[in-house]
């Protein structure tokens, strides 16, 4: 497995990013698709609307969010396998739209990918 990093979609593209995958369901405000420079949009891997709204990026809910989100991701194993296959040959950057770089869905996806 090549490396997996996470980055806000608002940050500039870097030559070190490798294959850029946007893993958020909603399109971020103020960013055009051209400016995002992503290779693929895997919105299927984003948390459900219900879970996203419940979490509301509250730090005290992140542990529970992670548990619930990992449960949702188990139902999306085929899409995760596609992403795992990409990581075998390419460096991957998971792009997210949240403000917090420590508690967001891309962190959970990265952890799930690294577990296998």
What's the pLDDT score for residue 2? 78
| Residues 10-32: tens digit of each pLDDT | 999 999 999 999 999 999 889 98
Residue 52: pLDDT above 90?
A: yes
Residue 34: pLDDT above 90?
A: no
What is the pLDDT confidence band of residue 115, given thresholds at 50, 70 and 90? confident
- What's the average model confidence in pLDDT over 96-111? 95
| Residues 63-92: tens digit of each pLDDT | 999 999 999 999 999 999 999 999 999 999
What's the pLDDT score for residue 72? 97
Q: What residues contact 38, with CB distance under 8 A and at least 6 apart? A: 9, 20, 21, 22, 95
CA 18, 14, 47, 51 torsion-angle sign? positive
């Amino acid at each position: 497995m090549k490396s997996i990093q996470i980055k806000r979609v608002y940050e500039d593209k870097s030559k070190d990013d490798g294959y850029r995958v946007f893993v958020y369901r909603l399109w971020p405000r103020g960013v055009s698709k051209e400016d995002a420079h992503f290779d693929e949009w895997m919105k299927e891997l984003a948390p459900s609307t219900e879970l996203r709204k419940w979490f509301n990026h509250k730090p005290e809910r992140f542990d529970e969010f992670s548990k619930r989100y990992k449960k949702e991701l188990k139902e999306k194993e085929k899409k995760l396998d596609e992403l795992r296959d990409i990581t075998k040959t390419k460096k991957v950057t998971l792009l997210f739209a949240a403000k917090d770089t420590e508690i967001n869905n891309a962190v959970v996806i990265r952890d799930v990918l690294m577990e296998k």
